Structure 1
Amino acid sequence: MPKCKISASCKLSLKILLLARATEELEAEKAAREEEKVCYLGEKLPPLQLIGLNTDDLQKLCKQIHAKNEMVDEERYDCEAKVIKNNRDINEFILKVQDLGGKFKKPALRKELTLEMGDWRKNVEAMSGMKGRKKMFLMHDVRD
């Protein structure tokens, strides 16, 4: 199927139109969220009627507001504690999955080591650097 070739200027204009459309949608989404927030707060927090209240009524109102504030703070603290606990559990589960999944790579064995295997005494004599001096010491010990 042949591809449709679009000129660079057409591509640029389409890109500009898409960006303009995306910014419009973002702004509309922000406005909708702000409106929803105002409606929610209007339902949950009706405007205070402070006109005509005496001191006792104002004190009662302040105590009620303070009690609601404490309750909300307790709920927030509980939610934060749950989030921290859940994050800790998630990290532990991730570690367990990695352990069970065997993601740790096993090191490759070097072939050189397997070729050098054999009589270990020959390797010790060869590596000792004494070049036959060991035999001389052994013969010296036998004479004494």
Structure 2
Amino acid sequence: MTEKKMTSSRRHHLKSLMLQIGTDILEKEASDLVVAREAYLDESCPALDLPSGMEELQKLCKELHGKIDKVDEERYDVDAKVTKGQKEVEDLKISVTELKGMKKPALKKVRMSADQMLQALLGSKHKVNMDLRANLKQVKKEAKVEEAAVGDWRQNIEDKKDRKKMFEGAEA
């Protein structure tokens, strides 16, 4: 089946109509936002009547301080909720990456002795000696009795000739 292709003029016309509808919607949303903001300000911030007497001014100041304290408490509560929500989001992100399975990074070869590794992990204050030979079982070796003085080299050659004859005799 062949699909009918739209002509470029029709596509351009449809695109311009979509853009016009989108701008109308954005303008309507902006005007609704302004109206909602004005309604909220009218509701929560009534017009200010400045009293003429000192006692009335002090009473007004106390009322304003009370309202400020109330708003600060609400702001603190909202801030705590936002912080809690952000922490939950981070925890969920971590759990998602754990479920997906983390890719292990390619490890670099590091030449480090066990003592250096423990010192890096535990800090320089802790002294740990990782002498692996310290816990090994001691085995006594029989000491070979070596000739104190090296003999004449000709004597060694003659001894080897006797051995050679021994093997040659076994072959024949």
Show the counterpart of 1:104: 102
**When the two structures are aligned, how many residues end up with a matched partner?**
107
Within 2, Cα distance between the matches of 1:13 and 1:31? Answer: 27
Q: Which runs of 5+ in 1 are unaligned?
A: 108-142
Q: Structure 2-normalised TM-score? A: 0.53
Q: Which runs of 5+ in 2 are unaligned?
A: 106-145, 148-172
Aligned pair 1:76/2:42, yes or no?
Answer: no
SS in 1 for 2:59: helix
Show the counterpart of 1:6: 6
Within 2, Cα distance between the matches of 1:102 and 1:7? Answer: 46
- 1:102 shift after superposition: 5.1
> Are the structure 2 counterparts of residues 104 and 40 from structure 1 closer, same or farther at C-alpha, using a change threshold of 3 Å?
same
Within 1, Cα distance between the matches of 2:26 and 2:89? Answer: 33
> Are the structure 2 counterparts of residues 53 and 3 from structure 1 closer, same or farther at C-alpha, using a change threshold of 3 Å?
farther
Q: Which has the higher contact order (CA 8 A, sep 6+)?
A: 2
Show the counterpart of 1:37: 37
Query: In angstroms, what is the RMSD of aligned CA positions?
Result: 2.5
- 1:33 shift after superposition: 1.2
Task: Give the 5 Å matches for 1:1-144.
Answer: 3-50=3-50, 53-99=52-98, 101=99, 103-105=101-103
More helix by share: 1
Within 2, Cα distance between the matches of 1:106 and 1:64? Answer: 61
- Aligned-residue sequence identity (percent) comes to 37
Instruction: Say which one has the larger Rg.
Output: 2
- 1:105 shift after superposition: 4.2
Q: Structure 1-normalised TM-score? A: 0.62
Show the counterpart of 1:117: none
After superposing on structure 2, the runs of 4+ consecutive aligned residues of structure 1 that deviate more than 6 Å are: none
SS in 2 for 1:53: coil
Within 2, Cα distance between the matches of 1:85 and 1:74? Answer: 17
